[in-house]
Each structure stands twice: as C-alpha cells, then as structure tokens.
Structure 1
Amino acid sequence: MRQILLTNDDGFDAIGLKALIEALAPLAKILVVAPVKNKSACGHSLTLDKPLKMDNVSDDYYRIDDGTPTDCVFISLNNLFKEGFKPDLVISGINVGANMGEDITYSGTAAGAMEAVLQGVPAISISQVCKDRCQEIKEASWDFALAKKTIADIVKKIFENKFPLEQRRFLNINIPPISVEECKGIKITKAGYREYGNDTHRHYNPRGEEFYWIGLHPLIWQESIDKSCDFEAIKANYVSITPVKLDLTSYEDIDKLNIWINKGEK
C-alpha cells in the first residue's frame, strides 16, 4: 500500500491538516508528523540549538515539541521508516493562507516540501488562499472542499503515473477561496513578484519596554504581461500549481558577473 507523510506549519491539530488527512486517507496509509504549535513563516529552518521531543498523539500521528516543518520531515524520514524505505510522497499543508511569489521563501509549509525533496522524496505543498486575512477560516462551515478535491486528484494522478518533476523540485499548490463549482480549473504558473510593505507596529509593555508586532501584508503583486503568475491565476478563480526548484543560482547572470569581476584586470 502507498504511504504518504504529512506535515504542516499551522500545528498538529490545525483544521487544514485534518482536512488533508480526510482527503488522502482513502488513497494511502497516512503518517502525520507536525509541530506542536504554529510555525508560520519559519522558512526552511532546522533546529540545531536544542533537543527535540517527539510525542505519539495516536496511531501514526506524532507531534514535535517546538519543532519546525523541516524538523518534522527530517526526523521522521530518518527515524520512523525502516532503513532503505521512504514514503511515496510528502505533503505539507493544507496551510491557512496563501504561499505565492517570494512568500515561498518565508513559508514553513513550502519548507516541509523542500526538506522532503532534499531527502529524495517527491513532495507537494498546498495552501488555502483567504479572502480577508483568513478570518473566514474560523467559520465552522469551512470545509476546504476545493483543496481536498484538488490534492486527491493530483495524488491519484501521481500514483497512476509518476511524479512529474526531477529531483530537488516540488509542486507548490495554492487554492482560490471559492467553491468547487466556481473553480475554472488548474493553471500551471510561475511564482509572481510580491510587493511588500512595512507593516510593523510598535508598542510598550506596562514596564515601558518597547516591542514590535509584524503584521500581515495584503496580497499585492506586479502584474505579468502574459498573466501567468500564481497571484493572477488565483484572482481569476483557478487553482495555481507552480513547479519550484531549490537551485537558486541566477544562471543568466554568471557571464555578466564574470565580466564585472574581471573588469580592469590585465
């Protein structure tokens, strides 16, 4: 039987993770290893300055105390599977909130998939875009229907064929905040150019000590000529799937940089 390892950055009891389990349980054996608490925007961080405790919540369900999604994937792949065996797939999500454009570099959700492909396991990160800073996620009626259908369909396609990307590459999926019926389909996209503000708030505690809260930036981006980025697909009511690779080299700048570094040398 196929096996899928699940993680996320919203915590082991997050509603998105529970929805992901529901969507994939009919397709494979599920193993969950997730952080105890929310680790949003932790990026691809690995905990090296303290030991990490992994608790068994229930059968095939674990949580790591103060761990990151990267910790969860790294530890589970190297300790919960017999030597020589790995899961068929790692899926990180369903995140509450978008992970598009340069936010991929901040994302703990995307980082879970990054760590998996570094360890040689095909991976997907999946996120649910919100209409209004995710306030509607608190509603009891939210069922992640489109996200659940999408990830189930993608996993079935992978199992029936094979993972479509080469090594050290993963699929980053973002789901528009609409119903299954309203969705126009899937678009394969590039990561867009996010525009960032400076949403920080300065406060003082009762002792007069200064502290800061970093706020949530609105989803603002630079439009692409061909409307082919993840932000634009979501705006047009499409599911966005972006192939992401971990090689960050700017190949088109190598020759230019060689000329620049050697300029004036004899």
Structure 2
Amino acid sequence: MKRILITNDDGFESAGLHALARALRPLGQVTIVAPTSEKSACGHSLTLTRPLRFVAIGDDFFKLDDGTPTDCIYLSLNALFEGESKPDLIVSGINKGSNLGEDITYSGTASAAMEAALHGVPSIAISQVYTGGPQNIELTHGYDLAEQTVYDLAKRILDGTFPLAERRFLNVNIPPLKPEECKGYKITRAGYRMYGNDAHLHRNPRGEEYYWLGVHTLEWKKGVTDDCDLSAIDEGYVSITPIKLDMTAHDELETLKEWIK
C-alpha cells in the first residue's frame, strides 16, 4: 500500500486538511501530522529553541505541539517513518487562501513541500483561492475542485514517476470555482505580485498601540504572455507551477563576476 504524509499551516482542525485526507485515502495509507495552531506565513522555519511533542488525535493522526509545517515533515520522517522507507508522497494543504507569486517564500504550506523535496520525497503544496473573506470557502464553493485536483495529481505520481527533477515540488492553486466551472489545468510560472503595506494600527483597552497585519489583494504585473499563476487563476484555471529550491540568479552570475572585479 502506498503511504502518504500530509500536513498544513492552518492547524490540525482546518476543514481544508480534512478535505485533503478525504481525497487521498482511496490512494493509500494517509498519515496526518499538522501544527496545533495556525502557522500561516511562517516560511521554511524549524523550531530550535524549545522541545516539540507529537500528540495523538486518532489513528495515524497527530498534532505537533506548537510546531511549524516544516517541523511536521522533518520530525515525521525521523520519528514516524524511522527504520522504514520514506512516504511515497507528501502533500501540504489544502491551504485556506492562495500561495501565488512571491507568496511562496512566506508560505508555511509551500515550505512543508520544500522540506519534503529536501528529503527526496515527491511533494505537492495545494492552496484554495477565495474571494471575500476566508469563511466564504465553505459557504460558496467548498473544496470539491481542490479534492478532485489533488486526487488526480497524486494518482499520477503514485502510479508512475514524479515529473520533476530533485529538489523541486508542485505548487498548485485552485480557483474559487465549482468543478463544473473550472476550465482545466494550466502549467504556469510564478507571477510577479504587487505588494503594499497593510499594517493596521489599533489600541488595546489600556491605550497601548499594536499592529495587525492584513492581507494584500491579488494584484500582479501583467506580462506579454499570460502564463503566470495569478493570470491562470484569474482566467478560471487550476494553476500548477514547478518550484525549485535553487534560488540562485543564474543569469546574473557573469554580471556579478564583472562587477566584483
């Protein structure tokens, strides 16, 4: 039986995580290891300053006490699969919200897939784009399209070979549509998101100031071709982007060599 490890950055109670498990169980044995609380935008972070503990929730279902998504994968491969072969597939999600463009660098969802790639395990990060507030995911369209998509992609991987070279993973974003409204899959590059500052200043009852960070709108730099992940979502497609961990600007190496002289 194929073995699948799943996690997320929205916490072990997230509806998206349970939708992911439901979608993948027909394909093999699913083990869930997820953070105790929401860890959105925690990036590719490991916990080095305090101990971590697996807390059993059910059969093959654990929460990692105050751990990050990267912790979940790192420790699961060491503790739960110790002495055994690695999982056949690792999937992170279904994230409540998009992970498009440079958001990949912030994303706890994508970072769990990065950690899997570092350990040589095929991996997918999957995120559900929503319109309005995050509560609209369940109210308007649910996770049906995301479940169908991740089942299809996982089955392709488990039935054959992973389509990417080492230290690469698939970053998948689902448009806010029902399955019958989606136009299909589009293979994309990571787009050029436009960022601003959405920090909101407030005061607590004692008059002390604090800031709460908001969420940016999905605006992006339009190119000559509409082949980026943001454009695909805008057009009603599922976006599938191959991501590699080598962030070297290879096209700048010669320029830098000349500059440093």
What's 2:142 paired with? Answer: 143
Q: Which amino acid aligns with 2:85?
A: F
Residue matched to 1:52: 52
Tell me by how many angstroms 1:131 deviates: 1.3
2:8·2:109 contact (CA, 8 Å) conserved in 1? yes
Instruction: Please identify, of 188-197 and 202-211, the stretch whose mean Cα deviation from structure 2 is larger.
Output: 202-211
Segments of 4+ in structure 1 off by > 2 A?
Answer: none
Residue identity opposite 1:87 in structure 2 = P
Shift of 1:138: 4.7
TM-score, normalized by length of structure 1? 0.96
CA distance in 1, matches of 2:260, 2:203: 48
Unaligned runs of 5+ in 2: none
Q: In the TM superposition, what is the alpha-carbon distance from 1:210 to its structure 2 partner? A: 1.6
The answer for the alignment partner of 2:70 in structure 1 is 70
Q: Give the corresponding residue for 1:218.
A: 217
Give the alignment of 1:1-266 within 5 angstroms. Answer: 1-139=1-139, 142-262=141-261
Structure 1: runs of 5 or more not aligned? none
**What's the secondary structure of 2:180's corresponding residue?**
coil
Rg larger in structure: 1
Work out the CA distance in 2 between the residues paired with 1:4 and 1:235. 31
CA-based RMSD = 1.0
Report Cα offsets for 1:66-111 as digits up to 9, x if no partner.
1100000000000001325110000000000000000000000000
Q: Is this contact kept in 1: 2:199–2:214, CA < 8 A?
A: yes
Taking only the aligned residue pairs, the percentage that are identical comes to 56
Please report the TM-score for the alignment, with normalisation by the length of structure 2. Answer: 0.98
One-letter amino acid matched to 2:180: E
Cα distance in 2 for residues equivalent to 1:14 and 1:135: 12
Between stretches 167-176 and 201-210, larger displacement belongs to: 201-210
CA distance, structure 1, for counterparts of residue 16 and residue 2 of structure 2: 22
| Larger CA deviation: 25-34 vs 201-210 | 201-210
Question: By how many angstroms is 1:134 displaced?
Answer: 2.1
1-structure distance, mates of 2:120, 2:127:
22
The CA distance in 2 between the partners of 1:80 and 1:159, in whole Å, is 20
Alpha-carbon contact 2:141-2:177 (below 8 Å) kept: no
1:150 maps to a residue whose letter is T
Provide the aligned length of Structure 1 versus Structure 2: 261
Q: Separation in 2 of the partners of 1:42 and 1:152?
A: 27
User: Letter of the aligned partner of 1:113 in structure 2?
Assistant: A
- What amino acid maps onto 1:230 in structure 2? D
Contact conserved, 1:24 with 1:152, CA < 8 A, in 2? yes
